Amino acid sequence: MEEFQADPFLYAKFMIDNLWILIAAALVFLMHAGFSTVESGLCRSKNTVNILTKNLFIVAIGLLSYAAIGFSIMYPGSNWIISKILGFGGFGIGFSPEVTDPEVLFAKLTPVGYALNMTTWTDFIFQAMFAATAATIVSGAVAERVKLAPFLIFATLLVAISYPITGSWQWGYGWLYDMGFKDFAGSTLVHGVGGAAALACVLILGPRLGKYLPNGKIKPILGHNMPLVAIGVFLLFLGWFGFNGGSVLSADPVLVSLVFVTTALGGAAGIMTAMFTSWIVLKKPDLSMSLNGALAGLVGITASADTITPVSAIIIGGIAGIIVFFAVVILDRIKIDDPVGAISVHGVCGIWGTLAVGIFSMDSEHKLVTQLIGVASVCGFTFVFSFIVFGLLKLIMGVRVSAEEENEGLDLGEHGQEAYPDFQPISEA
């Protein structure tokens, strides 16, 4: 450490890199405010307290469970075969048993010989901000009819076990990393995981009451506050600069600048294509589709933001904006009820963004087949894990509220309080 501090250039670089990752972690934390407002705004007012409670819990359990075990599962710091498959390097916040100075990682090489230019604490807090995101995605998909207690149990197990295991396959230098799989900031490892888990839970949970009518028609169940949704999307867009920009894992001026540009262009392209697709198909530009188009473009660009050109970013984000529109429509037609479009935005567009690496990457080592294997393995594992865990919770304690409670609203049924006690909704399903 003393030798390290004695070199002014190295120490200055260390401080700048470390500071940028901390700022990026704060931006990613801000995204949870965005998720909260998007989810609550797209759902009915009678379920607002319930949605906000779930989002608050997910942030807390994400930090605590990641500190207890998740960080060591995801980054085992070992080349053992078992670590390549299941991760795990012990308990608590520690990069590996070989770390002698827990405050500094600059001189500590990862299993592949890459030195992290930040403290252990910075590395942990940045990665911990990611950990809760997958469960937050599930929260929106199961909104308005899931029991609070079983959901909280499921979210805890997803964040503590499933997410870090699949994350270790690539970010922890596991078997997908060895294969050459590329997912820069988590189109699949974060968003695809959330989408796969959400799909499993929704299939078990079933649709909201009154969503699909006996005559085969689909009844729109409108969100109660579009300004909240718009604010949430802007917060998420801002946070994404930390999500992707921080994933450079340094303050490298070239790479961070490129990532900011590709991220912004991907999100902007998603807005435009989703807006015009809805305008063409529905004859009017749909705001909720346009806002989800922004998120779709951002999810789509997340796997490749550091290895594509700005033009490619526009193409990837633009295609994601089109994909999300039709994914929402198709899932509705096959009676998979997702109140906020989380499966379409994060799952479907996350898969697209990961596969796009094999098409648009400037690195010829990134192959489409390898990307496909990565997507199939990560999403497949997560879906099976989620289906089993949520299915067991259904058998043991039930996962769905009663019809009476669903009609009354989960705010009163689960919490005994209302988000808007002085206002009466115009109509309730």
pLDDT digits (tens, 9 = 90+) for 301-353: 999 999 999 999 999 999 999 999 999 999 999 999 999 999 999 999 999 99
Instruction: In whole angstroms, give the CA distance from residue 266 to residue 269.
Output: 5
Structural contact between residues 374 and 354, judged by C-beta atoms closer than 8 angstroms: yes
pLDDT tens readout for residues 121-130: 888 899 999 9
Q: For the chain, what is the mean pLDDT?
A: 90
Residue 116, number of CB atoms within 10 A of its CB: 22
On whether the pTM is more than 0.85, the answer is yes
Q: Facing residues of 146 across strands?
A: 400
pLDDT at 9: 77
pLDDT tens readout for residues 167-199: 999 998 899 999 999 999 999 999 999 999 999
pLDDT tens readout for residues 6-45: 677 777 888 899 999 999 999 999 999 999 999 999 999 9
| Domains along the sequence of the chain with CATH | 2-238+249-399 (1.10.3430.10)
Structural contact between residues 303 and 359, judged by C-beta atoms closer than 8 angstroms: no
Of 336, 329, 140, nearest to 223 by C-alpha is 140
Rounded to an integer, the average pLDDT of 280-285 is 96
More confident residue, 110 or 311: 311
Residue 2 — very low, low, confident or very high, per pLDDT cuts 50/70/90? low
Q: Is the pLDDT of residue 4 over 60?
A: no
Structural contact between residues 274 and 290, judged by C-beta atoms closer than 8 angstroms: yes
pLDDT tens readout for residues 132-144: 888 899 999 999 9
More confident residue, 57 or 119: 57
Mind giving me the DSSP string for 263-305?
Answer: HHHHHHHHHHHHHHHHHHHHSS--HHHHHHHHHHHHHHHTTTT
Q: What percent of the chain has pLDDT over 90?
A: 78
Q: Is the pLDDT of residue 104 over 60?
A: no
The residue with tokens 């942990």 is 124
Rounded to an integer, the average pLDDT of 231-236 is 98
> To the nearest 10°, the Cα dihedral for 16, 20, 23, 25?
-130
pLDDT at 100: 43
